[in-house]
Amino acid sequence: MDNLAPAISPPPGLGDSKPTHQLVLDWVHEVQALTQPENVFWCDGSEKENTYLLGEAQKQGIIEKLNEEKVPGSYLHRSNPNDVARVEQFTLICTPTKEEAGPTNHWADPAETYTKLNGLLKGAMRGRTMFVVPYIMGPPDSPLAKVGFEITDSIYVVLSMRIMTRMGAVAVKRLEQSENGEWNRGTHSLLDVNPERRLICHFPQDNAIVSVGSGYGGNVLLSKKCLALRIGSYLARKQGWLAEHMLILGVESPAGKKHYVAAAFPSACGKTNFAMLIPPAHFEGWKITTVGDDIAWMKIGDDGRLYAVNPENGYFGVVPGTSYKSNPNAMKSIEHDTLYTNVALTDDRNVWWEGKDGEPPAHAIDWRGNDWTPASKEKAAHPNSRFAVPMQNNPVLDPNVENGEGVPISAIIFGGRRSDTMPLVFQARDWEHGVYIGATMGSETTAAATGAVGKVRRDPMAMLPFCGYNMGDYFKHWLKTGPRLKNPPAIFHVNWFRKGADGKFMWPGFGDNMRVLKWMIDRFEGGGGATESPIGFVPRPEDLDTADLAGMTKEKLEDLLSVKPEEWKKELETQQEFFDTLGADMPAELTAQHDKLAARFAQ
Ligand code: OXD
Ligand code: MN
């Protein structure tokens, strides 16, 4: 078999920043002895190192340089066609008991899994370079920041980690200064990128991750879903904070009054768009800024409010559908210094994807590396093709993004992709009801994970694939957090995707979501009208500012905001089916919330 990742021979002065931390050195030696790489490259995150690795990755055909005039500083990577999304069925939580992982996770015995992984990793890096990537999640001076080390045999991983995390010396320094000495150990090997030998394993008790057999971002950038969410949620519960699959945005009024909100949506539900929203002309003077597009780490501040940091340093977003119409700020962010994966390459070495502005190119090379024309049956870009960009590329990056204490959160938004049942927006009655709304979130599935597309699945707080422990205990952690907050955020649920009888989306979404955000601000600032429905507070058509919204009628708004008892009857049943799968782990408070909701409908 061809070696997928042949060793590189760095010149003197590169790849030798070995830290002094003994536990790190011991662990690296252990993995080295097991995987037997040709050499070890200690990354320092410098520009010089990055330039060298970009050159090596090009020589090996792992990335291609794009047109320097059209997309300066940018590259294209094509993954193996068998390896294009997260693999939830092979994502394991290895806790001492199955009970700790809970019924929503794939559990495996830690000792047996280590034995299996050691078998797979034995000699796996022969003829390859083993990179050691130190990184830090969160602003380096944040009490929430966490250090991780990722060992990998993939240059693509190293290049991506440099974008997605604060990588190199800053992490080593933070570990040296840390009081508790906590750090995450992540081991990744491509092996032979064979789906039959693909496992993404988490060992929360050991603060360790082992990922083998994949080269796709969500499975191998161990900082992201693995550490920041799965291991992160486990640590958060133990340490009294929250690790959530949420974007964080700032919204500032023309008078200069600013709020921050955090929002949880399942993968590919427009999170990046919402985080970079441009308000419509009618909202002149309103400004949205991005703190984070995917993950929020939140702690309780001294004033009893919830404060959030974005643990990441970059965005790893879905490309198809991104255009100047849907998300101009994302387009500006990915115009330069971007690492693209699985998009199409045009004849002038630019990138193209379905949904990009303008006409499709007459000819391109598709994400598999084959010739493509508009007549081709296949998509040019994979539906889950991605960009990785430093957050500094974002023209609306929030000025407080590096603030280690985080930004105060005024509201939490839960949302899903639902063709029916869920009105455009409603507000929870209180924290406990809000937790229930988050716990019962459902969404029609998308291409971000392998599996069927378009089915409603329950995805509590958008954490179903990312909660590193028992979901019932996760709900209990949320329920306990509310009373610890003197000033808890208001909680809302949104659905941008409701369809009318004609099968068309009723709400334009994108920038017009500002109108919904404005209603939320009115609500938590103390104004804002609403009617109290069985499911919570729903705006009346006149409570939403729909001025200048083309094609919107009062009837359409009424339909969009309607709470239909017959739809909710079914919803309550399927929510109950999901709760039943959690069995004895379900907190009584949420079962009671379900019963109260059913009773309100029966009144
Ligand atoms: C992501 C996801 O990539 O949620 O952010 O799948
Ligand atoms: Mn995500």
Ramachandran quadrant class, 388 (left: phi over 0; alpha: psi -120 to 50; beta: rest):
beta
Q: Is the CB of 448 under 6 A from ligand 1?
A: yes
pLDDT band of residue 287 (cuts 50, 70, 90) is very high
User: Over 90: is that where the pLDDT of 311 sits?
Assistant: yes
Which 3 state secondary structure label does DSSP give 10? Answer: coil
Q: Which ligand 1 atom minimizes the distance to the CA of 449?
A: 6
Atom of ligand 1 nearest to the CA of 217: 3
Calculate the alpha carbon distances from 245 to 205, 232, 477, 560, 591 in Å. 21, 11, 15, 26, 24
**CA atoms within a 13 Å half-sphere pointing along the CA-CB vector of 253:** 11
Q: Which tens digit of pLDDT belongs to each residue from 474-529?
A: 999 999 999 999 999 999 999 999 999 999 999 999 999 999 999 999 999 998 99
Whose CA is closest to atom 4 on ligand 1?
267
**Residue pointed to by tokens 């019963």:** 595
**pLDDT over 70 (residue 450):** no
Point out the ligand 1 atom lying closest to the alpha carbon of residue 294: 5
Q: Read off the pTM.
A: 0.97
Ligand 1 pocket mutation, candidates 86, 219, 342, 441, criterion most atoms within 8 A of CB: 86
Q: Which pLDDT does position 603 carry in this prediction?
A: 83
Write the DSSP string, 269-301. SSHHHHHT----GGGTT-EEEEEESS-EEEEE-
Nearest CA to ligand 1 atom 3: 218
Q: Looking at residues 111-120, what average pLDDT do you find? A: 98
Q: Give the pLDDT of residue 456.
A: 84
264 CB near ligand 1 (under 6 Å) = no
**Closest protein CA for atom 2 of ligand 1:** 267
Q: Is 267 in the pocket of ligand 1 (CB under 6 A)?
A: yes
**Mean pLDDT across the chain, nearest whole number?**
96
Question: Is the minimum distance from the CB of 312 to ligand 1 under 6 angstroms?
Answer: no
Q: What is the pLDDT of residue 468?
A: 98
- How many Å lie between the centroid of ligand 1 and the Cα of residue 486? 32
Residue 583 has a pLDDT of: 87
Name the H helices within 508-587. 513-524, 554-560, 565-582
For the segment 305-315, the average pLDDT, to the nearest whole number, is 98
Q: Is 218 in the pocket of ligand 1 (CB under 6 A)?
A: yes
How far away, in angstroms, is 41 Cα from ligand 2 center?
30
Residue 456 to residue 438: CA distance in whole angstroms: 15
CA of 16 to the centre of ligand 2 (A): 34
* Closest ligand 1 atom to Cα of 86: 6
The CA-atom distances, in angstroms, between 385 and each of 85, 152, 250, 366 are 9, 22, 27, 11
If you measure from the C-alpha of residue 548 to the centroid of ligand 2, how many angstroms do you get, rounded to a whole number? Answer: 33
Separation of CA 581 and ligand 1 centre (Å): 24
Q: What atom in ligand 1 is closest to the CA of residue 267?
A: 4
Average pLDDT, integer, range 42-58: 98
Is residue 1 over pLDDT 90?
no
Whether ligand 1 lies within 6 angstroms of the CB of 294 is answered as yes
Where does the pLDDT of residue 447 fall: very low under 50, low under 70, confident under 90, or very high at 90 and above?
Answer: low
Query: How far is C-alpha 126 from the geometric centre of its chain's CA atoms?
Result: 33
Atom nearest to 462 CA in ligand 1: 4
Q: 78: closest CA among 354, 371, 381?
A: 381
Q: Is the pLDDT of residue 453 over 70?
A: no
- Measured from the alpha carbon of residue 388, the closest ligand is 1
**pLDDT tens sequence across 262-278:** 999 987 788 999 999 99
Give me the mean pLDDT over the 192-209 stretch. 97
Q: How far does the centroid of ligand 1 lie from the alpha carbon of residue 416, in Å? A: 14
> Could you tell me if 409 and 235 are in contact, meaning their C-beta atoms sit under 8 angstroms apart?
no
Ligand 1 centre distance from Cα of residue 269 (Å): 10
Q: Which residues contact 55 (CB under 8 A, 6 or more apart)?
A: none
Torsion (CA) 452, 458, 462, 464 in degrees, nearest 10? -80
What mean pLDDT comes out for the span 117-132?
98
Between the CA of 535 and the centroid of ligand 1 the distance, in Å, is: 29
Instruction: Among 225, 295, 312, name the best residue to mutate to test ligand 1's pocket (greatest count of ligand atoms within 8 A of Cβ).
Output: 225
Sign, Cα dihedral of 78, 82, 88, 92 = negative
pLDDT in tens, 357-404: 999 999 999 999 999 999 999 999 999 999 999 999 999 999 999 999
Question: How many C-beta atoms lie closer than 10 Å to residue 414's C-beta?
Answer: 25
What is the phi/psi pair of residue 565, to 5°? -55, -35
* CA pair distance 544, 399, nearest whole angstrom: 29
Residue to mutate, 221, 224, 267, ligand 1, most ligand atoms under 8 Å from C-beta: 267
Residues assigned a catalytic role:
269
**Whose atoms come closest to the Cα of 386: which ligand?**
1
Tokens representing 239 are 């340490």
Any idea which residue has 């790190």 for tokens?
24
86 Cβ closer than 6 Å to some ligand 1 atom: yes
What is the Cα–Cα distance from 463 to 477, expressed in whole angstroms?
14
Residue 452's pLDDT is what? 63
pLDDT of 170 above 90: yes
pLDDT at 136 over 80: yes
Q: pLDDT digits over 74-93, tens only?
A: 999 999 999 998 999 999 99
Percent of the chain residues topping a pLDDT of 70: 98
